[in-house]
Amino acid sequence: MSSGIGAALLDGLRAAGPREVLVHGGTRLSGDDVLGMVAAAAARLAASGVRRGDTVACLYGTGAESPVSRIAALALGCRFVHVWGGVPVEVAARAMRALDASALLYAPSRRAEAAPLLAACPVRVRQALDDDLYSGPAAGPVTTPPCDGVSLATFSSGTTGQHKIVAYDHAAEAAHLAAAQAMYGTPPWRLLVAPRSRYLPDMFVIWTLAGGGTVILEPDARPAQLAETIEREAATHLMAGRPVDLYALAEHLEDAPADLTSLRLIVYGGAAAVPARTARAAGRLGPLLMQNYGTSEGGFLTVLEPRDHARPELLMSVGRAAPGVELRVRAPDGTDLPPGEVGEVWVRSPQRMSGYVDDPARTAAAVRDGWARTGDVGRMDGDGYLFLLDRAEDRLPGGLYAHPIEHVLTGHPAVLDAAVFALPRAAGPVLAGVVVGRDGRRVDLDGLRALVRRALGDRCEPRHLWRVDALPRTPGGKPDKAALAARFAAGAGAPGRPPAP
C-alpha cells in the first residue's frame, strides 16, 4: 500500500505555495490555487457519491483543468482512467466497464465526446471540469489516502492499430516519477509542454508538479510559438515531443534565432529518430538534447544523454538503460544474447504496467517472470548502448531490418525522412521505400538505391523507391508503414513513379 504519486503531488504543491505552478494562456495558478481547486473538486465529487476505491474516468483535455482532476481523484482515493483524445469511444467504454467506473469527468473542450461515451457506458456521476467543480467549498484539508491495486489506466498509442488498455499501480507511478527526476535533474523545473492529446506529455505535467515546479502549457505547438514562449517564460525544460517535432523547432531556429539561455534540457523521443537530423539539431541547440525510448507497457527504457549527442556514432542509438531499468536482448527462445547480437528487447523495471485491463491472455504473452517484451528488435553494444533495428512485427522480406536502410537514405543531404516497408505482391512481399525530399530539392531515386546497395549490399536495396511529400503517421506519431504498404500495393509500378493515390 502506498500513496506514492499523490503524496508527492501534494508535497510539491504545498512547497510551491503562492508560487505559480500551472500557466495556460492567461491563466496562472499558484500551488495554493491548485490545492484549493483540488479540495473543492474532491468535496463536490464526494457529495455526488464518488467513494474511495471508485474508478473515475476523464476525457482529458490540454488545459490546466485536466491535471487538477487527476489530483482530485488521488485525493478521493480513486482510480483514474486517462482517456486522451483519439482513443475510440468503444475502447474507452471497455476500460470504464472493466474497472467499474462510477464517474465520468470531461474537459470542456471534449464535452461533445461525453455523450457517446456515456451512451456506451452509463455512470452515476457526470461532471465537466469547470468552475462548477473547482470553485465550490472544500470539505476539509486535502490528503491522499493510501490505496493498493490499479491506480491509473490509460491507452497505448495504437502502434499496431489497436489501442491496448494499460494499467499501472501506485508503485509503478512512483517509479516513473523517480526515473524522470533522476534523468531530468533536480526539481523544481520550469517545464514547457505543448500537450497534443497523448498520454506522455500529460505525465510530464504531473511529474513537474510533484517536484514543486511550474508547467507552462503552450496550446500552439508551432516552432515560432514555442521559441517565443521559452524566452518569455524562461523555461528550464522543454518536452519537445516526437523527433519530428524537435527537428521542426531546431530547423526553425536556424532561420529565426531566439534566446534559449534559460533552457537546461530538451527531451524528445517516442518514435525512431533520424540520426542526420538529430545531429543537425544538436549542432543548433548544443548539449541540451536528451532522447528517451519507452513503451506504454514498460515506461522509460533508455536515455541518450546530452553528452552522447556529441558522438555521431551514437545518434543511431536510443542510449543506455534508464535509471532502475534492466534491459536484455533475447533470442526467440527467451535466452539472453551477448553484446552485438540481434534479438528482441526485453525489460525488467519497477515502472512496468501491472497488466492489460481485462486481457489476462495478452498480459501473459507480454510479461514473463517479471520481464516484459517490447516487440522491438535491436542489439546492444559492449557499453550498454541499445541500437533499435525494427519492430518485430514489421519484419521485411529476407529477414532485413528497416532502420539501417532508413539511416542510409536519410544520411543523404537531399533526403529529409524515409521509411522502408514490405510491399505485398502476388509472388510474395518485396522491399520498398519512400523518401521525403529536403526543401523541395530534387531527389535522385536511382542514386539513393545505389547508395544503399553500396553501403549495405544488394539485398538491402529497395526494389521500389518513391518520393512522397510527407510520411503518414499513426496517432502516436510513428511512421504508418501499414498505410504505406496499403497505399502503394495497388499501383506499385516502375521505381520512382508514384502509383495513383
Report CA dihedral (12, 17, 21, 25) to the nearest 10 degrees.
160
Instruction: Quote the least distance from Cβ 478 to ligand AMP, whole Å.
Output: 6
Give the number of residues in contact with ligand AMP, rule: CB under 6 A.
20
Q: Which is nearer to ligand AMP, 254 or 326 (CB)?
A: 326
Place of cell 544523454: 305
The distance in angstroms from the start CA to the end CA of the chain is: 55
Regarding 401 and contact with ligand AMP (CB under 6 A), the answer is no
Which residue from 388, 409, 434, 465 is in contact with ligand AMP, where contact means CB under 6 A? 388
Buried b (16+ CB within 10 A) or exposed e, 352-384: bbbbbbeeeeebeebbeeebbbbbbbbbbeeee
Q: What is the per-residue DSSP string for 358-423?
A: T-HHHHHHHEETTEEEEEEEEEE-TTS-EEEEEEGGGPPGGG--HHHHHHHHHTSTTEEEEEEEEE
Query: By CB under 6 A, is residue 376 in contact with ligand AMP?
Result: yes
189 near ligand AMP, judged by CB under 6 A: no
- Asked if residue 317 binds ligand AMP (CB under 6 A), the reply is no
Cell numbers for 334: 527467451
For residues 304 and 400, which CB has a smaller minimum distance to ligand AMP in the complex? 304
Q: Cβ(216)–Cβ(205) under 8 Å?
A: no
Cβ-based burial of 75 (10 A; exposed 0-12, middle 13-18, buried ≥19): buried
Residues 20, 225: Cα–Cα separation, whole Å: 21
Q: Are 409 and 474 in contact (CB under 8 A)?
A: no
Q: Binding to ligand AMP by residue 318, rule CB under 6 A? A: yes
Question: Is residue 102 a contact residue for ligand AMP (CB under 6 A)?
Answer: no
Least distance to ligand AMP from the beta carbon of 321, Å?
13
- Contact in structure between 380 and 329 (CB atoms under 8 Å): yes
Q: How many CB atoms lie within 10 A of CB 118?
A: 16
- Least distance from C-beta 156 to ligand AMP, angstroms? 4
Instruction: Check binding of 351 to ligand AMP (CB under 6 A).
Output: no
Complex with ligand AMP: residue 33 or 394, whichever CB lies closer: 394
Is residue 154 a contact point for ligand AMP (CB under 6 A)? no
Q: Which ranges of 141-217 would DSSP assign to H, the alpha helix?
A: 170-184, 199-210
CB of 199 to ligand AMP, least distance (A): 8
Contact 205, 91 (CB under 8 A): no
For residue 292, the minimal CB distance to ligand AMP (Å) is 6
Q: Is 375 in the site for ligand AMP (CB under 6 A)?
A: yes
**Does the protein bind ligand AMP through residue 296 (CB under 6 A)?**
yes
Q: Where are the alpha helices (DSSP H) in 105-198?
A: 111-120, 131-134, 170-184
The answer to whether 176 and 164 are in contact (CB under 8 A) is no
Q: Nearer Cβ to ligand AMP, position 3 or 156?
A: 156
Residue 217's beta-bridge partner residues? 24, 193
Nearer to ligand AMP, 159 or 363 (CB): 159
- DSSP summary character for residue 321: E
Q: Closest distance between ligand AMP and the C-beta of residue 457, in Å?
A: 24
Site string for ligand AMP, 434-453 (x = CB under 6 A): --------------------
Query: Is 66 a binder of ligand AMP (CB under 6 A)?
Result: no
Please, which of residues 249-288 interact with ligand AMP by CB under 6 A? 269-273
Q: Which is nearer to ligand AMP, 39 or 249 (CB)?
A: 249
Determine the interface stretch with ligand AMP among 57-65, 123-131, 134-142, 292-300 (rule: CB under 6 A).
292-300
When the beta carbons of 217 and 271 are compared against ligand AMP, the nearer one is 271
| Among residues 62, 127, 159, 317, the one that binds ligand AMP under rule CB under 6 A | 159
- Contact between 306 and ligand AMP (CB under 6 A)? no
- List beta partners, residue 24: 27, 217
At its nearest, how many Å lie between ligand AMP and the CB of residue 404?
Answer: 13
* Comparison of 54 and 390: residue with beta carbon closer to ligand AMP: 390
Q: How far is the CB of 238 from ligand AMP (least distance, A)?
A: 16
Q: Does 294 bind ligand AMP (CB under 6 A)?
A: yes
Least Å from the CB of residue 268 to ligand AMP:
8
Using the rule CB under 6 A, is 407 a contact of ligand AMP? no
Applying CB under 6 A, the span of 7-15, 185-193, 232-240, 368-376 interacting with ligand AMP comes to 368-376
295 belongs to the binding site for ligand AMP (CB under 6 A): yes
Sign of torsion, CA 171 176 177 182?
positive
Cβ atoms within 10 A of the Cβ of 255, count?
Answer: 8
Q: Does 293 sit near ligand AMP (CB under 6 A)? A: yes
Name which of 41 and 175 has its Cβ closer to ligand AMP.
175
Smallest gap from residue 313 Cβ to ligand AMP (A)? 16
Contact predicate 393/250, CB 8 Å: no
Rounded CA gap, 87 and 110, in Å? 12
Residues 337 and 323: beta-carbon distance below 8 Å: no
Residue 156 within binding range of ligand AMP, rule CB under 6 A = yes
The answer for residues whose C-beta is within 8 angstroms of residue 137's C-beta and 6 or more apart is 40, 43
Radius of gyration of the CA atoms of the chain, in A: 23
Q: Under the rule (CB under 6 A), what is the footprint of ligand AMP? A: 156-157, 159, 269-273, 291, 293-296, 318, 374-376, 388, 391, 476
